[in-house]
Amino acid sequence: MSSMTKSMARYDARPKAKQSELYEERWTVPQIENLNDLMCHDRPEDILLWAEENFSPKLKFSCQFSMEDVVLLHLMHRLGVQAEVFFLDTGRLHQETYDLVETYREQFHFDINVYTPDTQGLAGILSKNGVNPFYRNRQARQECCFVRKMEPMARALDGADAWVSGQRQEYVTNATGVVAIDSLHGGILQINPIYYWDSAAVWEYVRQHQIPYNRLYDQGFASVGCSPCNRPLHEGESVADGTWWWEDAKENDLPVLKNSEVHRVG
């Protein structure tokens, strides 16, 4: 029995009563641990097909056009995985990111649902904190993130039972895995098909399939988020140094990049 077949069997064996309980109890921790044990050696292709079989049409894919995201977009296209692809336009992204979105829409005919910040909410924080509030203080930065990213993300995931993410083990410090309970969004399932890939594997896939990628990586960026809050990395800097570098406390203790990795990632 393949590991995927075993994971399907375990999924189907979930107690039905649990599924109708409180949002936070859609999944239990032991169920998630079991799924992660079963799927940790599965190929991303198998994980995506498992996700489609179990969650489509309530399966979504959050695509911010990072290197990981374009790999997943390409994989899903190759496999014909049915999922709503959505993109959060914070309004402050790099031109390179917008160019890449257009490339995928025009050349590859991808349907991409775009979510933007709530107009009133955005006007409110801009009036209160100024148009560049991120550098003012941590609270102003978090309010900006809430209005431009978190609230639209919650709207985008409304109605979903599961969503696909490009999260990789290299970039998280908390224990996650191929699947995780997304407690921020009602306890739905977050699925990370390339969780165990390293940067080299991601780049190898992009090169092998010659897929368009975000040119910010060629400039040394490790993260392709908002323009005011992300900068290129230099040798010896951690991935965290490239984002919100003016804040003292970092939310994540992310890996330090060696020079070769800076050039590979960037």
In the complex with ligand SF4, the residue whose CB is nearer, 157 or 178, is: 157
In the complex with ligand SF4, the residue whose CB is nearer, 136 or 263, is: 136
In the complex with ligand SF4, the residue whose CB is nearer, 101 or 229, is: 229
- Closest CB 171 distance from ligand SF4, rounded Å: 16
The DSSP secondary structure of 70-124, one letter per residue, reads HHHHHHHHHHT---EEEEE--S-B-HHHHHHHHHHHHHS----EEE---HHHHHH
In the complex with ligand SF4, the residue whose CB is nearer, 177 or 242, is: 242
Residue among 188, 175, 153 at smallest CA distance from 51: 188
- Closest CB 73 distance from ligand SF4, rounded Å: 22
- Closest CB 116 distance from ligand SF4, rounded Å: 12
- Report CA dihedral (132, 138, 144, 150) to the nearest 10 degrees: 160
Q: What is the CA radius of gyration of the chain?
A: 19
- Closest CB 141 distance from ligand SF4, rounded Å: 5
Note the residues at the interface with ligand SF4 (CB under 6 A): 90, 92, 134, 141, 144-145, 148-149, 225-226, 228-229
Alpha-carbon distance values, 44 to 21, 34, 41, 110 (Å): 30, 18, 9, 20
- Closest CB 217 distance from ligand SF4, rounded Å: 18
- Closest CB 28 distance from ligand SF4, rounded Å: 33
- In the three-class reduction of DSSP (H, G, I as helix; E, B as strand; rest coil), residue 127 is classed as helix
Residue with the shortest CB distance to ligand SF4 = 226
- Closest CB 199 distance from ligand SF4, rounded Å: 22
Alpha-carbon distance values, 191 to 49, 85, 150, 198 (Å): 11, 14, 18, 17
In the complex with ligand SF4, the residue whose CB is nearer, 134 or 195, is: 134
Q: Could you give the CA distance from residue 163 to residue 205 in angstroms, rounded to a whole number?
A: 22
The DSSP secondary structure of 135-197, one letter per residue, reads GT-HHHHHHHHIIIIIHHHHHHTTT-SEEE----GGG--S---SEEEEGGGTTEEEE-TTTT-
In the complex with ligand SF4, the residue whose CB is nearer, 92 or 155, is: 92
In the complex with ligand SF4, the residue whose CB is nearer, 179 or 229, is: 229
Instruction: Give the tokens for residue 245.
Output: 């570098």
